[in-house]
Amino acid sequence: MTSLKVEVAALKLSNPTILASGVMDETAASLLNMARAGAGAVVTKSIGSEPRKGYPNPTLVELDWGYINAMGLPNPGIEAFAEEMRLARGCPAPVIGSIFASSAKEFSFLASKMQDYGAAAVELNLSCPHAKGYGMELGVDPEMVSAVVREVKSVCSIPVFAKLTPNTHQLMEVAKAAEAAGCDAIVAVNTVKAMAISVEMRRPILSNKGGGLSGPAIKPIGLRCVYDLHSTLNIPIIGVGGVEDWRDAVEYIMAGASAVQVGSAVGRVGLNVFELICTGMKEFMVREGFESVSQMVGVAHE
Ligand code: SIN
């Protein structure tokens, strides 16, 4: 019997597609919708200690091959998010709480809140490419990443995932530091630093000027990162970056991912993207004689 079930760092998923942080995930209602649409797990919007408005518009540019966004980590703050997490209890798929912070102590405070609120795992946003004092400003430093993961692991019994940035030559060192500090899985990769300019306005389109590129444009970058991480790490990897169809998902899995996150494709393809990926992947597995997803993980290295 061909099965799409996967286990990632003790999380049991009905299939290997996970809603990526930042897309339709700020309320319980949208998280439940995505789970009902077929996601094997859902990740929340990145939540910080205090409410945050984010950057003024424009915050998103649509391109042929993806999006450039710079939202500025808008969120209601961890206290207010308790209510959304309460309403999301009973979600048919595990809910993973994404958090961002400026220090190891603040990360551990937020992680223990997410655990109290019922999150199945916590995802550390160490990779937002443009928020001052947050994200990749911490996440390109292996020592800082090690300190953050260690601190979070000391207060959390749920699995801890680190979402890393491709905007560094030190990705392997950062990932190894996270693994050595007890991280349960690596999520690779967040968006790639990018910009778009309006020639009529004669200036960058985004109010923040720079942003992060997602979607099919970055799939080859994410894939290469996952391939290299698989050669380097022993913990599971969750692949993200331009997954739009079953073939993209299988590529990531063959590169070494145990599961994949889907973000931009929710907007580009539609809510049925999870179902389409799963149907196509199952048909491929039957054709090729794979009985489980785990049989495909890393086969491109053999
Ligand atoms: C944003 O809120 O601007 C994006 C967050 C991220 O890229 O991690």
Q: What is the mean pLDDT of the chain?
A: 98
Is 23 close to ligand 1, i.e. is its CB under 6 Å away?
Answer: no
Share of the chain above pLDDT 70, in %: 100
Mean pLDDT, residues 73-97: 98
pLDDT tens digit sequence for 99-125: 999 999 999 999 999 999 999 999 999
If pLDDT is split at 50, 70 and 90, which confidence band does 36 have?
very high
Give me the domains of the chain, ranges plus CATH numbers.
6-51+73-192+214-301 (3.20.20.70)
pLDDT tens digit sequence for 201-213: 999 999 999 999 9
If pLDDT is split at 50, 70 and 90, which confidence band does 181 have?
very high
Is 71 close to ligand 1, i.e. is its CB under 6 Å away?
Answer: yes
Q: What is the pLDDT of residue 301?
A: 98
- Taking residue 266's Cβ as centre, other Cβ atoms within 10 Å add up to 21
Burial 281-300 (b: 16+ CB within 10 A, else e): bbebbeeeebeebeebbbeb
What atom in ligand 1 is closest to the CA of residue 128?
8
If pLDDT is split at 50, 70 and 90, which confidence band does 160 have?
very high
pLDDT tens digit sequence for 212-270: 999 999 999 999 999 999 999 999 999 999 999 999 999 999 999 999 999 999 999 99
Asked if 208 and 201 touch (Cβ cutoff 8 Å), the reply is no
Distance 140 CA to ligand 1 centre (A): 16
Q: What is the pTM of this model?
A: 0.98
Is 191 close to ligand 1, i.e. is its CB under 6 Å away?
Answer: yes
Residue 59 CB contacts under 8 Å (≥ 6 apart), including other chains: 69, 70, 71, 72, 206, 207, 208, 211
Asked if 236 and 9 touch (Cβ cutoff 8 Å), the reply is yes
Mean pLDDT, residues 165-193: 98
Is 139 close to ligand 1, i.e. is its CB under 6 Å away?
Answer: no
The H or E element spanning position 18 is strand 17-19
Distance 30 CA to ligand 1 centre (A): 18
Q: What values do phi and psi take at 259, rounded to 5?
A: -155, 170
Share of the chain above pLDDT 90, in %: 100
Q: What is the pLDDT of residue 153?
A: 98
Is 46 close to ligand 1, i.e. is its CB under 6 Å away?
Answer: yes
Please confirm, yes or no, whether 278 is among the known catalytic residues.
no
Closest residue to atom 2 of ligand 1, CA basis? 73
Distance 71 CA to ligand 1 centre (A): 6
